[in-house]
């Protein structure tokens, strides 16, 4: 299950509680009992990639964790929520939201005049593989988003 909002996430018998501040750890609880299981470095949004058993947290940075070992896989600096990243015509990804689209973590935001998104390849396994610049989802699109 992916989410991309501040709602708690339920997956594999665990409850992931998204913190309100990115400086606060993201705790995980047993969904049946409420017992504490573990905690990850925080983010104000969370996206769970069930297939890869990855947790992505988005706050002051974009981070990836292995949910089996709880090991941090990689981290990259991320513009604040809602900041302009790139211009597209895609309406679906707007709304300052995050979702998983095949192999990419898509980061979207919308302003009164345009919608923006960017995407990060989530298949990477090591911090050395993190690209220097955020990848565009549709390189052919150069036009501003419609109103």
Partner 1 sequence: MTDQLTVGDEAVYAVGEVAIAIDPATGDIRWKHEHAGHCWCPPTVTDRNSTGGNVYFPVKSEEGGVRIVALERTTGDVSWTDSTRDYSTLSPTTDGDRVYVGVDGGLQALDATTGNPVWQSDLPGGLLAPPTLHDGMLYLSTGGHVVAVKTATGTLAWNTPID
Examine residue 18 and tell whether it contacts partner 1 (CB under 8 A).
yes
Examine residue 96 and tell whether it contacts partner 1 (CB under 8 A).
yes
Chain centroid, CA 94 distance in Å: 14
- Which of 48-56, 106-114, 117-125, 133-141 is the region at the interface with partner 1 (rule: CB under 8 A)? 106-114
CB contact at 8 A, 66 and 56: no
**Residue 136 CB neighbour total at 10 angstroms:** 15
- In the list 12, 23, 50, 82, the residue contacting partner 1 (rule: CB under 8 A) is 82
- Which of 67-75, 104-112, 118-126, 128-136 is the region at the interface with partner 1 (rule: CB under 8 A)? 104-112
Which run of H or of E encompasses 65? Answer: strand 61-66
Examine residue 9 and tell whether it contacts partner 1 (CB under 8 A).
yes
Percent composition of the chain: helix, strand, coil (DSSP 3-state, to 5): 0, 40, 60
Examine residue 17 and tell whether it contacts partner 1 (CB under 8 A).
yes
**CB of residue 77 vs partner 1: minimum separation in angstroms?**
23
Question: Who contacts 37 (Cβ-Cβ below 8 Å, separation ≥6)?
Answer: 14, 28, 29, 30
- In the list 23, 70, 111, 125, the residue contacting partner 1 (rule: CB under 8 A) is 111
- In the list 79, 95, 101, 103, the residue contacting partner 1 (rule: CB under 8 A) is 95
| Closest among 11, 75, 17 to 46, alpha carbons compared | 17
Give the interface with partner 1 as residue ranges (CB under 8 A). 5-10, 15, 17-18, 20, 27, 29, 31, 33-36, 82, 91-92, 94-97, 110-112, 146
């Amino acid at each position: 299950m992916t989410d991309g909002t501040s709602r708690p996430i339920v997956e594999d018998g665990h409850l992931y509680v998204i913190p309100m501040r990115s400086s606060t750890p993201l705790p995980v609880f047993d969904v049946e009992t409420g017992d504490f299981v573990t905690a990850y470095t925080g983010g104000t949004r969370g996206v769970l990639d069930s297939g890869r058993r990855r947790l992505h947290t988005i706050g002051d940075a974009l981070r990836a964790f292995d949910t089996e070992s709880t090991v941090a896989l990689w981290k990259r600096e991320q513009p604040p929520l809602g900041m302009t990243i790139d211009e597209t015509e895609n309406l679906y990804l707007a709304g300052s939201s995050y979702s998983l689209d095949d192999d990419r973590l898509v980061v979207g935001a919308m302003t009164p005049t345009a919608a923006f998104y960017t995407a990060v390849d989530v298949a990477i396994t090591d911090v050395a593989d993190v690209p220097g610049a955020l990848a565009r989802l549709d390189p052919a699109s150069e036009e501003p988003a419609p109103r």
